Amino acid sequence: MSTDVHSTDADAPDERAARALAMQASPEFAELRRTIRRFIFPMTAAFLTWYLLYVVLSAYARGFMDAKVVGNLNVAFFFGVLQFVSTFLIAWLYSRYAAKRFDPLAEKIKAELDAAAAGDAGAAK
């Protein structure tokens, strides 16, 4: 059994890297990054603010957090449950936003990379 690796195109990794770097510098890729940041940064800030509010109120507003709402369930319990609800809500919003905004841009970039790779493969043969 031979362990030799035979490559049909010795420069293929370098060409792929060059195409990837060129695509990374493209306006389409910059637009994809801006679109992602428009969602990620504000949503992260909002969630961290909400979470820190919960932590700070739990530490410094014990009377408020201990107030009974329904039966033995207090404000802290509902804030805790809302942490989970907000996490799932953010995941759902991200999924919708990604499908509408990220995926079309990413598919366009992928198609361009695939077309360039197919053109390079055809030229190499």
Residue 75 included in any domain: yes
What stretches in the chain show pLDDT beneath 50? 1-8, 10
Residue 18 included in any domain: no
Residue 84 included in any domain: yes
Residue 1 included in any domain: no
Q: What is the pLDDT of residue 125?
A: 56
Q: What is the pLDDT of residue 123?
A: 60
Residue 14 included in any domain: no
Q: What is the pLDDT of residue 117?
A: 74
Domain range spanning residue 61? 28-124
Q: What is the pLDDT of residue 6?
A: 45
CA 42 – CA 29 distance, rounded (Å) = 20
Number of independent structural domains in the chain: 1
Q: What is the pLDDT of residue 5?
A: 45
